[in-house]
Amino acid sequence: MEVVNDFKDFEIIDANDGNKYERWGNVYFLRPDPLIIWENKNFKTDKLDATYIRSNKGGGCWDKLVPNFIINYKDLKFNIKQMGFKHTGLFPEHAVNWNLIREKITKAHRSIKVLNLFAYTGGASIASLSAGASVVHVDASRGMVDWAKENVKLNKLEDRPIRFIVDDCIKFVKREIRRGNKYDCIIMDPPSYGKGTSGEVWSLEKNLYELVILCQELLSDKPLFFLINSYSGLSPIILENILNLTNNRPNAKITSTEIGLPITKNNLILPCGIRGLIEYE
């Protein structure tokens, strides 16, 4: 498992019975997490700025809203906002991916072109830009793309080569194939379920394999890496199997792992998703 141990502006302080008590900079949230199925008799929240309360009918809401704020990871900055479904616009566990992305691009010592699919608020795009790559950032939500633009500007990277595309990812990839465009790195963080800009339905179980096959056609003659992140109930080995079955390049190292965040008060690890990775020699 890859665990984020160096995110000074974020921590899971404690966890109990479906909830995690978190610090985001100087802001403290209590948010639900379905993987926390244990009880902690010593659990308490010393300070709390907002709680996300689940509804018995599904969904839920925040009990209060705090002003939007900024947190840092190393030299990267991110706008944090309370969203309707418990989220904040950032997944801190992705720091393990940002570190890998930056290291790979920096060590390549050449021009690198990155395609970031289901790119959300732009964590991986910012990591890529900061390492010197050019980026095409694709997401079906205009609101998320606008948020990513804010984050890029916050990091003073708006003059770097980045294109923001609001589109269905499969449709965009197919058009890029027809155009003959190529990328050295492909990153994707697909949801379990979603809808494209024209109502196209995305299902991870039904569409991921097809998308990975299509993306193989977009890789350059000297690709650097292909990274898939996922939060569904899939196991890491499923991503590894898909990459093994679809890879058509020699000298490719294919691995998979869980990603997690430490819980400060009891030294437990909260699993937060999985990653499948191809590194090309």
> Within this chain, do residues 244 and 175 fall inside the same structural domain, yes or no?
yes
> Within this chain, do residues 99 and 147 fall inside the same structural domain, yes or no?
yes
Q: Quick check: is 81 in a domain?
A: no
Q: Quick check: is 86 in a domain?
A: no
> Within this chain, do residues 57 and 121 fall inside the same structural domain, yes or no?
no
Number of domains in the chain: 2
> Within this chain, do residues 62 and 155 fall inside the same structural domain, yes or no?
no
Give, for all 281 residues of the chain, the pLDDT tens digit: 999 999 999 999 999 999 999 999 999 999 999 999 999 999 999 999 999 998 877 789 999 999 999 999 999 999 999 998 899 999 999 999 999 999 999 999 999 999 999 999 999 999 999 999 999 999 999 999 999 999 999 999 999 999 999 999 999 999 999 999 999 999 999 988 887 777 778 788 899 999 999 999 999 999 999 999 998 778 999 999 999 999 999 999 999 999 999 999 998 999 999 999 999 98
**pTM for the whole structure:** 0.95
Q: Quick check: is 253 in a domain?
A: yes
Pairing of strands 27-32, 50-54: parallel
Cα separations (Å) of 69 from 62, 65, 130, 235?
A: 16, 11, 21, 34
> Within this chain, do residues 196 and 267 fall inside the same structural domain, yes or no?
yes
> Within this chain, do residues 111 and 49 fall inside the same structural domain, yes or no?
no
**CATH number of 19's domain:** 2.60.40.1180
> Within this chain, do residues 173 and 135 fall inside the same structural domain, yes or no?
yes
- Of 67, 84, 103, the one marking the end of a domain is 67
> Within this chain, do residues 223 and 268 fall inside the same structural domain, yes or no?
yes
Task: Please name which of 164, 119, 108, 157 lies closest in space to residue 280, comparing C-alpha atoms.
Answer: 108
Q: Quick check: is 85 in a domain?
A: no
**Taking a C-beta distance cutoff of 8 angstroms, is the pair 273, 231 a contact?**
yes
**CATH number of 243's domain:** 3.40.50.150
Q: Which domain holds residue 258?
A: 92-280
**Taking a C-beta distance cutoff of 8 angstroms, is the pair 244, 260 a contact?**
no
